[in-house]
A and B are shown apart, each in its own frame.
Chain A
Amino acid sequence: DADVTQTPRNRITKTGKRIMLECSQTKGHDRMYWYRQDPGLGLRLIYYSFDVKDINKGEISDGYSVSRQAQAKFSLSLESAIPNQTALYFCATSTSGTGIQETQYFGPGTRLLVL
């Protein structure tokens, strides 16, 4: 069974619609992250959470919001989707600490197309 799961795996939506991407983990990690991947830009951090009560903006948070419903669940919402939010979205987890503990473990990704 996968340790980090994302739903849906693929989504097509229209401009202006609100959508939610969900992430669940069974690794017992306290830290969770949302990234987007665009060609030529690598992985860029949208939001991250170090525990249920801690939510922080990443480098590209505009147009997105998140909810940490439990230690194991972290959802990403696009309040009003726009075409330039078309991308591959990844959830990741890690434990706290330094060095090897900073290794992040990724889900399989959600491919989002905004028409």
Chain B
Amino acid sequence: DQQVKQNSPSLSVQEGRISILNCDYTNSMFDYFLWYKKYPAEGPTFLISISSIKDKNEDGRFTVFLNKSAKHLSLHIVPSQPGDSAVYFCAAWSPDSWGKLQFGAGTQVVVTP
């Protein structure tokens, strides 16, 4: 029973354009959401996060939007750069999860010239 879903396994975008990655969740107790980025042969690295009390968090080219009523969050990358080519994981945390994160399956982003 996957509580965090990333339904798009891959995304191809041109350099300079916007990348939009989507994530849906089913557990209404989720209180905090994170995005991780993973390059081949490396571990995931933290990218950006958002608390459930906010609907938007921005950090440079990366913005995460949270729609609690729809149980949906998205990551926007503007403008996309070749170095953004990686796998992106959405993750969620709830107060009753005892510190555990639930991860989505990941979305492979390829930024083309």
B interface vs A, CB < 8 Å? 4, 6, 9, 31-32, 34, 36, 41-46, 49, 51, 89, 91, 93, 95, 98-101, 103-106
Contacts and interface: CB of A to CB of B under 8 A. Distances in A.
Interface string A30-45: 0101010000111111
A50 interface: yes
Contacts of B32: 98-99, 102
Nearest to A100: B49
Contacts of A43: 44, 89, 91, 103
Nearest to B106: A42
Contacts of B89: 42-43
Interface residues of A, number: 29
Contacts of A41: 105
Contacts of B9: 40
A42 B100 contact: no
A103 B49 contact: yes
Contacts of A102: 32, 34, 93, 99, 101
